[in-house]
A and B are shown apart, each in its own frame.
Chain A
Amino acid sequence: MASIWKLNGVDIYVDAYSEAKQPQIAELNPINSTDGIFHWIFTPDKTLEVGGLVIGDTNLILIQNTAASVVVLTTDLGTKTVLVKDIKADRQLVSCQLIDLLQPQTAPVYKVTITLRL
């Protein structure tokens, strides 16, 4: 069952969430060696990926307007301040929607994948 999260106050019915922490490590491989040499350059903040449904064009546009902004992500576990890095949206071709009862049944349903940075 999806969780209802908010990105900058806009509802997202989240059904997928992942986090990644990707340190930048350069690997050097000397000739004839069996072991690599590793240089740690830096470790950026976590990358979050949130997947879910957004109902209605208005909500989708509000979500898309957060691109490159620092906004508040409200989850079931609390709030985080995040940078919105990337937003992908796919229209789900459904005959009607009963997910958000405050919106018409004919409101479009979008599957969004949002990449955030802490």
Chain B
Amino acid sequence: MVATPKQLYHNISNCTGVLGARILEAYNASMAQAMITCYDTSLELGDAISFNIGYVGDNGKIFQGFVRNIEKNLPSANTVVTCESEISKAIDYYMAADDPEHPFERSEILTEDLVEDILNEAQITSYTHNVPLSVTWGTHGTSVKFNLTTAWQAAKSIVDALAWHLYCDRNGQVHLTGQHPYAEGGEVASFTWDDAAHKTLMINYGKSAEELRNRVVVYGYNNINASASVASPYLPPGFYKTAVIATPIVTNHGQAQQIANLNLARFNRLTESLGLTVEGDYRITPRLWATIVNSYLVVNGLWFIYQVEHLFDSSGYLCNITCTR
């Protein structure tokens, strides 16, 4: 039986003759990005923007952020408005103390509070955290200092050391979590893309040990160092691929070893990735889980949604998704 066409919907304001929109969100991206193609716009650089896409009767918020670039083109007679999410303020904010002898500095501070203080420097105040353990920085009489770096790089250096995750949601709130792009138990699928439901327009699968690291070495402040390693069934016996974390903000051996262990758990795994295209759904966003079943590729199971590209234009509304496990 033939299906009734779904009418595409958007509520992008201050843009006339909207021809399409492309929204890219990824687990490992510093921010979400939206590109709106239209005939003309009254938006200016720095303007706040928020919009929904989807279908008439089934649409929702897909992006919130600021206008970063406006480009006008002829003879195509269109305007491309590029927008970035709230966290772009942290990328743009360069931490440069008026007095280089007194840079941003903290001691005896928990990770989530340190990250919050750094984000506040960039005027990002909507923030929440859900971290798996307490890690204190600037201990034993030392302090954590940041200068001549962006707020984003400063926050990421702390977050990445612990193999944690910092991201901005579609409402402009920044989250600090311990979430990893692989299953650790208790995950529930938000979507199902399988043969029976006929939802998949394209699918491909790949498996690689290229990013696998089964040895992690941490170099910290004043010769502090630690390492962690384990044999991998995907590498030749006795062979170790090493990742190095070198940062002066690691100020004691216990912390260095904790960081080595956390990052070994994160890096010592095979990369399985799945690329698929499905009918557009504004609800699809990274950090959710999907059950994917495909009898040809034999990739049945729970997958982590790593990246989503929402394409909304005259070709319809599609989602290009990258999943990992």
B interface: dominant SS:
strand
A24 touches B201 (CB 8 A): no
- Residues of A21-52 at the interface with B, using a CB-CB cut-off of 8 Å, are 24-41
Shortest A26–chain B CB gap in Å is 3
Q: Which residue of A lies closest to B280 (CB)?
A: A39
B6 touches A39 (CB 8 A): yes
A35 touches B7 (CB 8 A): no
**Which residue among B2, B198, B279 has the maximum number of chain A CB atoms within 10 Å of its CB?**
B198
Q: Count residues of chain A with CB under 8 A from any CB of chain B.
A: 18
A31 touches B5 (CB 8 A): no
Write out the residue numbers on chain A whose beta carbons fall within 8 Å of the beta carbon of B315.
26
A37 touches B8 (CB 8 A): no
B248 within 8 A of A: no
Write out the residue numbers on chain B whose beta carbons fall within 8 Å of the beta carbon of A33.
198
B317 touches A38 (CB 8 A): no
A38 to B315, CA, bound (A): 10
A35 touches B5 (CB 8 A): no
Q: A40-B5, A40-B6 are in contact. Are A24 and B203 (CB under 8 A)?
A: no
A8 to B315, CA, bound (A): 37
A38 touches B6 (CB 8 A): yes
Residue A40 contacts which of B2, B7, B200 (CB distance < 8 angstroms)? B7
Q: Count residues of chain B with CB under 8 A from any CB of chain A.
A: 22
Write out the residue numbers on chain B whose beta carbons fall within 8 Å of the beta carbon of A28.
201, 279, 316, 318
Residue A36 contacts which of B3, B199, B314 (CB distance < 8 angstroms)? B3
A67 to B221, CA, bound (A): 75
Q: Which residue of B lies closest to A24 (CB)?
A: B314
Write out the residue numbers on chain A whose beta carbons fall within 8 Å of the beta carbon of B195.
31-32
Query: What number of A-B contacts does a CB cutoff of 8 Å give?
Result: 54
B201 touches A35 (CB 8 A): no
A26 touches B198 (CB 8 A): no
Q: A24-B314, A40-B7 are in contact. Are A35 and B200 (CB under 8 A)?
A: no
A40 to B5, CA, bound (A): 5
Q: Which residue of B lies closest to A41 (CB)?
A: B314
B133 within 8 A of A: no
- Residues of B273-325 at the interface with A, using a CB-CB cut-off of 8 Å, are 279, 314-318
Shortest A85–chain B CB gap in Å is 16
- Residues of B185-238 at the interface with A, using a CB-CB cut-off of 8 Å, are 195, 198-203
Write out the residue numbers on chain A whose beta carbons fall within 8 Å of the beta carbon of B200.
30-31
A38 to B7, CA, bound (A): 9
B201 touches A30 (CB 8 A): yes
A28 to B280, CA, bound (A): 11
A67 to B3, CA, bound (A): 40
Q: Which residue of B lies closest to A30 (CB)?
A: B198
- Residues of B157-202 at the interface with A, using a CB-CB cut-off of 8 Å, are 195, 198-202
Write out the residue numbers on chain B whose beta carbons fall within 8 Å of the beta carbon of A31.
195, 198, 200-203
B42 within 8 A of A: no
Residues of chain B at the chain A interface (Cβ within 8 Å) = 1-8, 55, 195, 198-203, 279, 314-318
The 5 closest A-B pairs by CB, nearest first: A26-B316, A33-B198, A39-B316, A38-B5, A40-B5
Pairs across A and B, CB under 8 Å, 12 listed: A25-B5, A28-B279, A30-B200, A30-B201, A31-B195, A31-B198, A37-B6, A38-B2, A38-B4, A39-B7, A39-B55, A40-B5
